[in-house]
Structure 1
Amino acid sequence: MTIPISILDLAPIAPGQSVRESFASSVLLAQTAEANGYTRVWYAEHHNMPTIASSATSVLIGHVADHTSTIRLGSGGVMLPNHSPLTIAEQFGTLAELHPGRIDLGLGRAPGSDQNTARAMRRDPRSSDQFPEDVLELQAFLRGESIVPGVQAVPGGGTDVPLYILGSSLFGAQLAAALGLPYAFASHFAPDALHEAMALYRSEFRPSRQLQEPYAIAAVNVIASEDEADARLQFETTRRSRVRSLIARGPSAIDYTDDQIDAFLTTPEGRNIANMMRYSAVGTPSEVRNFLGEFAASVQADELITAHQSRDVDDRLRSVTLTAEAMLAVPVA
C-alpha cells in the first residue's frame, strides 16, 4: 500500500516575479499535483512576508479550485487567532458550497506574522489562549449547530468542512487528540518535537464524529531531480534564501552574498536555522523515495505533505512529478 502524499504551497514570490505570476505558478502546481495523484494541496496564512503570497488563504483556494476539478484544497493553515470563527466558517462554507467535497480547513494557533504585523491586524495578543474554544465554536458553525445564541453561519452551516489541527509543539497534538481531529505537524520548518508530538497524539486520541481513528500528517521538504548534484545545488540555494529571509528583513535589509550566508551557517545561530530544514528529501527520485519512506515509518505518518522548495517554477513542477512517480507507484514499508 502506498502512503498518500500531498503538497504545501506557500505561493512563493521568486526574485523578479510578480504576485500575479506567483498565483499562476500555484495554479500550475495544483494542476500538476492533480494530474499526478496527490491527495490535497494546502496554502498557509502568512503576513508581511515579501516572498510569500498566500496571506488571503481562502481567496487563493477559491482561485485554484476554479482551475482544478478533483484535488482537495485547503488551508495549512488558517491562523484562527487572527479571525473570528464566524468569519472563517462563512469563508470556508462558501468554498464548500462552490466546490463540494474538495475543501479542507487546517487551523493553526500562531499569528503567522511578527508583533508589529499582528498589531496592524488588530489582533488581541491574548487571542491564542482562546484557540481551543474558537475551534469548537467554528466546528459548531460548520455543522449548523451554533453554540452562539441566535447566530448561524450563512453560508457554512451544514457544510461540515473537515477540520485539521496544525502544530509544531505538544499543545497541538494534545488538542487534536482531545477533540478527535486529524493532526498535521509542521516538521518542514520546526522539526524538534516531531516524534514526541506524534506519539502523544496517537496515545491520547479520542474518537469523534469526524474521526474514529487517529490520522497524522507530517510535513517534509522535497527537492527531486533526475540529477543528484542538481538537486543538492537547488537545496543549497533554497537554504540560503531561507536564511536571508530570516536575518535580512525590512527596506534597509543588507543584501548578503552567498559566501556571507555560508559563513553565517557555520555559526551556532546559523546551524539552528539550518536545522529547521532537517527533514528534507533531496536527490534523485529513488533517493527521495527512500528518505520519505523511512521518514513516514519513523513517525507512523498516515500521510505526508510535501513542500517542494525549488526556487525555479519549472524545477518545482518537475520535483512534484518525479516525487509522485517515485512514491505513488511503489509501496512504502
Structure 2
Amino acid sequence: MKKLQDVRISVLDLAPIVEGGTARDSFHNSLDLARHAEDWGYHRYWLAEHHNMPGIASSATSLVISHVAAGTKTIRVGSGGIMLPNHAPLTIAEQFGTLESLYPGRIDLGLGRAPGSDQPASRALRRGLGSDGSDFPEQLSELRAYFDPNGAEFRPAGVRAVPGEGQNIPIWLLGSSGFSARLAGQLGLPFAFASHFAPEYLLPALHLYRSSFRPSEVLEKPHVMVGLGITAADTVQEARRLATSQQQQFLNLIRGRTGKLQPPVDSMDELWTPHEKAILLDKGKYSIAGDKSAIKERLQQILEETDADEWIIASQIYDHAARLHSYELVAEAIKES
C-alpha cells in the first residue's frame, strides 16, 4: 500500500490579496512562501490564472512565475494553470520558452480550458480569438507543436516559437470534470484534478483518466496530482477558525460576488444560510482543517480513495505567518507519517 511519504507535495498559490493588503504585498508573500516551501521539501510551486477578481493577484501568470522562479533555487515553478482558450498558443509557447530559458529544468506548464474569470472578463480576454474552450484539443496540439521541432504539420506554416522550439517543458492537463481527464489519458499526459472545488467529480475523473490512458513519450503509466484545500494549525479549533477565510471566499463566489480575502471569524453561522452551509460543506469534502494528527489521518483516507501520485495544496489563509505555518505543518505531518 502506498504511504503518505511516497506522495510528492506541492503548492497551489492563488496569490491572495487580503483585506487591507495590496497586490504588491501578495507578490512579496508568494515569494516568501515559495522560499520556505523549497526548504520544507515541496516539489512544485504553481500559480493559477484568474481575472477580474480583486482578491487574486496572479492574472499575469507567466510574470508571477518568473518572479517566484528568480527568487528560488530548486523548486519547480509553473502554472496551475494557464487557461489556454484565453491565449494564442504561440504566445504561451514563447512565454514558457522564455521561462524555461531563464530557469532551465524548473518550469511546468499546466493547462486548463475554463476561462478563469466571469463572462465579461472572458469576452474581453478572448476578443478576436473566437474561442469558447471547445477547440481546446486543437489549441493544445498547436501549442505542443511549437515545442516540437518536428511538429510543423500542427502549426501555421512558417511559424516557430523562439524561444520555445526544442525545449522539454512538461505539460499537464488540469480539470474539474471528465473532459480534460479523458484527453490527458488519450495523449498520455499527467493529469491534475481540482478536487478542492469540484469534489463530486474527483473519483469519476480519475477513473476516466486511468481507463483511457495510453502510454506516450512523456509517460509510461498514468500520473495523477490531486488538488486539496488544507488549513493546518497547532490545534483543530484554530485551524477551523483560519479556514473561515476560505469559506467566506467560497460563500461570496456562490453569491456572485468577488472581493479580497477576509479575516477569519469565530463562527460562520451569522454569515451563511443553512442551504449555503450545506453547499459549502459538500464542496469541502476534500478540504482539511486540523492539526497534524487530523491532517495525517484524512490524507491517508484520501490516498486510499485516489491512489494519488502527488498532492497540490491550496491554503487561502488571511494571515501570512499562519499560512506559512500551515504549509510547514503539512510537510511535517507527511514526513512523520
State the Cα distance separating 1:189 from its structure 2 match: 1.1
- 1:132 corresponds to which residue? 137
44-53 or 141-150, which deviates more: 141-150
Q: Distance in 1 between matches of 2:235 and 2:276?
A: 31
- 2:183 corresponds to which residue? 175
Q: Which amino acid aligns with 1:80?
A: L
Q: Which amino acid aligns with 2:226?
A: A
138-147 or 305-314, which deviates more: 138-147
143-152 or 265-274, which deviates more: 265-274
Q: Distance in 2 between matches of 1:285 and 1:258?
A: 22
State the Cα distance separating 1:282 from its structure 2 match: 1.2
- 2:78 corresponds to which residue? 74
Q: Normalising by structure 2, what TM-score?
A: 0.92
- 1:225 corresponds to which residue? 233
Q: Which amino acid aligns with 1:21?
A: D
Task: Compute the RMSD of aligned alpha carbons.
Answer: 2.2
Please tell me whether the aligned partners of residues 241 and 266 of structure 2 are also in contact (alpha carbons under 8 angstroms). Answer: no
Equivalent position SS for 1:218: strand
Q: Distance in 2 between matches of 1:289 and 1:32?
A: 21
- 2:148 corresponds to which residue? 143
- 1:239 corresponds to which residue? 247
Q: Normalising by structure 1, what TM-score?
A: 0.93
- CA deviation digits over 1:251-271, x for unaligned, max 9? 9xxx9x979963563443452
- 1:22 corresponds to which residue? 26
Q: Distance in 2 between matches of 1:250 and 1:99?
A: 34
Q: Does 1:213 align with 2:228?
A: no
- CA deviation digits over 1:182-224, x for unaligned, max 9? 0000001111110011011111100111111100111111111
Q: Which amino acid aligns with 1:89?
A: A
Q: Distance in 1 between matches of 2:87 and 2:303?
A: 33
List alignment gaps of at least 5 residues for structure 2. Answer: none
Q: Distance in 1 between matches of 2:160 and 2:206?
A: 35
Q: Distance in 2 between matches of 1:250 and 1:303?
A: 30
- 2:91 corresponds to which residue? 87
List alignment gaps of at least 5 residues for structure 1. Answer: none
Q: Distance in 2 between matches of 1:31 and 1:90?
A: 26
Q: Which of 311, 324, 327 is the aligned partner of 2:334?
A: 327
- 2:208 corresponds to which residue? 200
| Percent identical residues | 48
Number of aligned residues: 327
- 2:313 corresponds to which residue? 306
Q: Distance in 1 between matches of 2:251 and 2:85?
A: 27
Equivalent position SS for 1:289: helix
Change (3 A) 1:239 1:103: same
State the Cα distance separating 1:122 from its structure 2 match: 3.2
Q: Distance in 1 between matches of 2:279 and 2:257?
A: 18
Please tell me whether the aligned partners of residues 112 and 174 of structure 2 are also in contact (alpha carbons under 8 angstroms). Answer: yes
Q: Which amino acid aligns with 2:137?
A: P
